[in-house]
Amino acid sequence: MAKRFDLIVFDWDGTLLDSAAAIVAAIQAASRDLGVAEPTDAQARHVIGLGLSDALRSAVPGLAADAYPQMVERYRYHYLARDHELALFAGATELVQELAEAGHLLAVATGKSRMGLDRAFKVSGLGASFHASRCADECFSKPHPQMLEELMDELGASPERTVMIGDTTHDLLMARNAGVPALAVSYGAHPAATLEAHEPLASFSQLADLAAWLRQHA
């Protein structure tokens, strides 16, 4: 079957890396450190995928503006204290390698910082499989389309032959804003009903089902 998509763009946290619970815990711990009300699990999960500063401002809106740099520092402290425990979702490595071997261009568009993504690439061993990546400290935060627009420009892909895969509404809205079709995965940060309201091409509750769809349709 001829390829439908030249460029496949993955979100990282909650899509390839099983990190949503760790992100929620780090946001809540940082809130306790600064003596502000902890966001609920749902509130903290909702901001996953945004750039860190935007995420914390949304999750903890009552914090004084000049305290957010300290909030960022405390979040990073708590997240990095346990990021060595995090693992890719089962089958993620094999899926990425299979898509690369099939000739697809692969990229990452993430709310992580460049330093954070480079660290994740090194730990996971997947960095060499991706042709390009964009991070929140290099572009406007999702759902702004800049990450996807720059990736398509760099790799010479058109919007209709690009697909964005993510676990949050921020990913799906970024894709829509860039004129790019999207696939949703509900095993990460945002629930299936919330994702499906944004009308992705398809939604998957397991990575294995995403992999099967890509084999048949990508």
Please identify every residue annotated as catalytic. Answer: 11, 13
Report whether 50 contacts 189 (CB < 8 A). no
